[in-house]
Amino acid sequence: MRELGNNIKIAVNDLSVSYNDEGKSGDPVIIFIHGFPFNKSMWDKQMEALKHGYRVIAYDVRGHGGSDTGTEDFSIELFATDLLNLMDTLKIDKAMLCGLSMGGYIALNAVENYPDRFDALILSDTTCLADTSEAKEKRIKTIENIRKNGVEKFADESIKNLFARESFSTKKKEIAAVREMIVHTDEESLCKTLRAFYERKETCSKLSDIYVPVLIMVGEEDKITPLAAAQLMNEKIKESLLSIIRHAGHLSNIENPVEFNNQLEEFVSTVYYYG
Ligand code: MLT
């Protein structure tokens, strides 16, 4: 029996995963994958907008929100396997995936390894590139700083880079909510995820194999995964669409949900129509 609602706990292999599940059974499924170090609540506005017409699921990636951390080292491959295990446990054969940043890394890995399980991809504020050696060094420094100065300090430093300049005056409530998400992620999971990032492989060379419809979105002031990263994916993925979200930085779905949702709804409605 399907359980509907928020913060549902389900055992996926040995892991307890927390997820939200709304919309009608039988409608096309959209699975939302959050960025780092946030949780499924970052998709609340998209879940609300899309639940009439789609079965919408947002889950907490292992080590984030209400999902267990488990004992293994983290990797993007492990996160993608968790996603497939969650789909199997929920008996979802096919879904559209919408991932932001880390969520995009997971979505790209999942589509590469399990292409038959997905109808469409929405890649938001993400990149197919691996970390440069400079970025890897920065990750190691960040791990050291988290160990030394704690999660609160890490949250304050992260916030500075996540948003468009104007969001600091127009989106104070949303920024406070994002800060809460960060400080509620435990230190061990933060460090394990940062390690998974610097070890992750590029996926750019695999993008020409993607044959499902793809929408790429990027906040016009995204400093973490900037427009150039979105343009690169757009060039490599056949017939992909690119949409630049105004008044937004890295968290475009939170900073400009109206424009983000309009693009998302228009895109998924065409997938459904042709699919
Ligand atoms: C995210 O939002 O998921 C992170 O910025 C990803 C990263 O640091 O590579």
pLDDT one-digit tens code per residue, 168-184: 999 999 999 999 999 99
236 part of a folded domain: yes
- Please state the atom number of ligand 1 nearest to the C-alpha of residue 250: 2
Q: Which residues line ligand 1 (CB under 6 A)?
A: 35-36, 101-102, 197, 224
* Among 212, 274, 269, 222, residue whose Cα is nearest residue 243: 222
**Residue 1 — pLDDT band, cuts 50, 70, 90?**
confident
Nearest ligand 1 atom to the CA of 35 is 3
Q: Which tens digits make up the pLDDT trace of 215-236?
A: 999 999 999 999 999 999 999 9
Instruction: Give the span between the Cα atoms of 142 and 78, in whole angstroms.
Output: 22
Tell me if 109 is assigned to some domain: yes
The residue range of the domain holding 14 is 5-128+203-274
Specify if 194 maps to a domain: no
26's CB contacts (< 8 A; 6+ apart) are 55
Can you tell me the mean pLDDT for 190-210?
98
The first and second tokens of residue 81, run together, are 């396997």
Residue 155 lies in a domain: no
Structural domain contains residue 185: no
Q: 8-67: per-residue pLDDT in tens?
A: 999 998 899 999 999 999 999 999 999 999 999 999 999 999 999 999 999 999 999 999
The domain tally of the chain equals 1
Q: What is the CATH number of the domain that holds 76?
A: 3.40.50.1820
Per residue in 99-117, pLDDT (tens digit) is: 999 999 999 999 999 999 9
CA–CA separation, 130 vs 105, rounded Å?
A: 10
Q: Taking residues 157-178, report their average pLDDT.
A: 98
- Radius of gyration in angstroms for the set of CA atoms belonging to the chain, rounded to a whole number: 17
Atom 4 of ligand 1: nearest residue by CA position: 36
Ligand 1 centroid vs 209 CA: distance in angstroms?
Answer: 24
Q: 242: exposed, middle or buried (C-beta count within 10 Å: 0-12, 13-18, 19+)? A: middle
Mean confidence (pLDDT) of the chain: 97
User: Residue 197 domain-assigned?
Assistant: no
Question: 108: helix, coil or strand?
Answer: helix
Residue 216 lies in a domain: yes
Q: How far is the CA of 157 from the centre of ligand 1 (A)?
A: 14
Work out whether the CA dihedral 178, 57, 78, 212 comes out positive or negative: negative
Ligand 1 atom with least separation from CA of 125: 2
Whole-number Å distance, alpha carbon 136 to ligand 1 midpoint, is 13
The answer to whether position 81 is within a domain reads: yes
